[in-house]
């Protein structure tokens, strides 16, 4: 796995890739990717998950009936299929882990794209054998970008994100601005950016906005839970980069109207 500085740098240049060369990844590289998938620690140690690296593009397309997520067809040479136990926090856990996987792949010169469910389970069962207590959660397409000049973002202005003052409530103390910036530019489903931060004298409290519309709640609830894991991953990498590694803590009594409390960071 790459060192934390390289992962921090990858945060600012990684972008979704939807067009790939047909070239397969070497066996040695695949083994390295599998090692990364198996060894990144999650938020919760008690939630079992599993990854399957597959290269049957035709079967993957059938699994989605020819349409993959909201992005249309994404024909990549290889995919990571992720399954997990369905326990409290499993979606945040997977978002946290696999954003770090993706940033590692970015530093390996590979393009990536998150792809959500639903899967056609009958077709999926022809590709992999899922453990009995697991459910499929998402795919990650990866491979060499069709146009190598479009693999990375050139500068931070390419990120279309909310302003910091829309996401952070309270005074941002010295040293935290760069950490929040890494969180601000985290990817999210349809760029929904559901994270909110409240800063007080002792903690940074992290929230996810609640969806009140029945339709948007149905669409975004699970996706935004994965998004929150992604933003926690960015926070963790940025805190380590600035030598202020802190633990995520779940506290009591920090409800916020219109939001779901997730965790806090002691400053």
Number of domains within the chain: 2
Domain that holds residue 8: 4-150
CA distances from 103 to 38, 176, 233, 236, 252 (A): 15, 21, 10, 13, 33
* 58 conformational bin, left if phi > 0, alpha if psi -120 to 50, beta if neither: alpha
Q: What distance lies between CA 107 and its chain's CA centroid?
A: 16
Is residue 60 located within the same domain as residue 98?
Answer: yes
Residue 106, token pair as written in the block? 């970015």
Report whether pLDDT(1) > 80: no
At 32-55, the pLDDT tens digits run 999 999 999 999 999 999 999 999
Is residue 52 located within the same domain as residue 113?
Answer: yes
Q: List the CATH number of the domain containing 65.
A: 3.40.109.10
CA distances from 245 to 37, 38, 102, 237, 263 (A): 22, 23, 21, 9, 15
Which of 132, 150, 168 lies at the terminal end of a domain, its last residue?
150
Report whether pLDDT(152) > 70: yes
Is residue 132 located within the same domain as residue 201?
Answer: no
At 60-72, the pLDDT tens digits run 888 875 444 444 5
Of 95, 97, 98, 26, the closest CA to residue 55 belongs to 26
């Amino acid at each position: 796995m790459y060192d934390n500085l390289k992962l921090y740098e990858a945060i600012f240049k990684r972008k979704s890739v939807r067009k790939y060369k047909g070239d397969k990844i070497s066996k040695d590289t695949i083994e390295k990717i599998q090692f990364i998938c198996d060894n990144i620690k999650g938020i919760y140690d008690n939630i079992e998950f599993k990854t399957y690296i597959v290269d049957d593009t035709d079967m993957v397309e059938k699994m989605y009936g020819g349409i993959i997520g909201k992005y249309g067809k994404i024909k990549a040479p290889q995919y990571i299929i992720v399954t997990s136990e369905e326990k409290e926090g499993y979606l945040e856990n997977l978002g946290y882990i696999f954003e770090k996987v993706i940033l590692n792949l970015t530093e390996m010169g590979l393009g990536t794209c998150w792809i959500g469910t639903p899967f056609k389970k009958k077709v999926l069962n022809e590709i992999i054998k899922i453990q009995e207590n697991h459910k499929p959660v998402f795919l990650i397409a990866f491979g060499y970008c069709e146009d190598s000049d479009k693999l990375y973002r050139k500068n931070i202005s390419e990120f279309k994100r909310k302003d910091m003052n829309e996401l952070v409530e309270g005074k941002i103390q010295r040293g935290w601005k760069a950490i929040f910036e890494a969180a601000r530019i985290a990817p999210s489903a349809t760029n929904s950016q559901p994270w909110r931060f409240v800063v007080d004298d002792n903690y940074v409290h992290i929230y996810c906005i609640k969806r009140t519309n029945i339709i948007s709640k149905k669409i975004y609830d699970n996706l935004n839970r994965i998004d929150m894991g992604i933003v926690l991953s960015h926070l963790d990498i940025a805190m380590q980069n600035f030598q202020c590694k802190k633990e995520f803590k779940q506290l009591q009594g920090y409800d916020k109207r219109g939001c779901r409390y997730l965790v806090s960071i002691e400053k």
